[in-house]
Amino acid sequence: MTFSARHAAVLPALLVAALGLGTPAGAQSFGNSFNGLQVKGDQPIAIDADQLDVDDKQRIATFSGNVEVAQGDTLLKTSKLMVYYAKPAGAGGETGGAAKPEPAKTGGGGALPGGSNQIEKLDAQGKLYVRSTDQVATADRGTFDMKTQIAVLTGNVVMSQGDNVARGDKLTIHMDTGIAQLGGSGRVKILMAPDQNGQNQAKR
């Protein structure tokens, strides 16, 4: 199933963890300086893209072309987003039980997997940009695993808040606790701006 026009889709709260970079993000390395980058479970998530392809057999929904995912103050941008979803409970001809919730609808009128299906993983391919309030994280790629509650951003990772900047090859975020680790094969670089009292705002 392919939707060629731009679409806006509202997904259930299952997608919240995909953007939930937690608090405090980067806690192990930066104290409390990067403590935003979070979303709220009571707000809808909207996905906008040039094209949406749904492979229900493989259970993959692929958004491509200027993909934007927004919820509240949090915005994620990438060139391609693959959403992996599980078979809904009660599928396969089973009868009885509670009625299944309606799937989310795209702007083109098609059913988007996620309303009645559980999202297992999201894979953001191409340059990844995440902004929440005054905090920004960028990387070459990002994977969000709903089962393990771990998000991994890789390749030229940059985290910034105001004049505070941290760079590394890999950012691992435990979405359930908010603990984040910045590292990788190369060296971690941190630029800390002094506060009004002349003290650094972030500490390693």
Q: How confident is the model over 106-121, as pLDDT tens digits? A: 443 344 444 434 778 8
In a domain, 92, yes or no: no
Rounded CA-CA distance 54/112 in Å is 8
Confidence (pTM): 0.68
In a domain, 22, yes or no: yes
* Residue-number span of the structural domain to which 30 is assigned: 2-86+106-191
Sorted by sequence, the CB contacts under 8 Å of residue 126 that are 6+ apart come out as 78, 79, 80, 140, 141
In a domain, 198, yes or no: no
Q: Are the C-beta atoms of 84 and 120 separated by less than 8 Å?
A: yes
CATH number at residue 61: 2.60.450.10
In a domain, 94, yes or no: no
Residue with the bigger pLDDT between 177 and 81: it is 81
pLDDT tens digits along 166-197 = 899 998 877 777 677 887 776 777 777 776 56
Domains in the chain, number:
1
In a domain, 97, yes or no: no
Residue with the two structure tokens 């993909």: 67
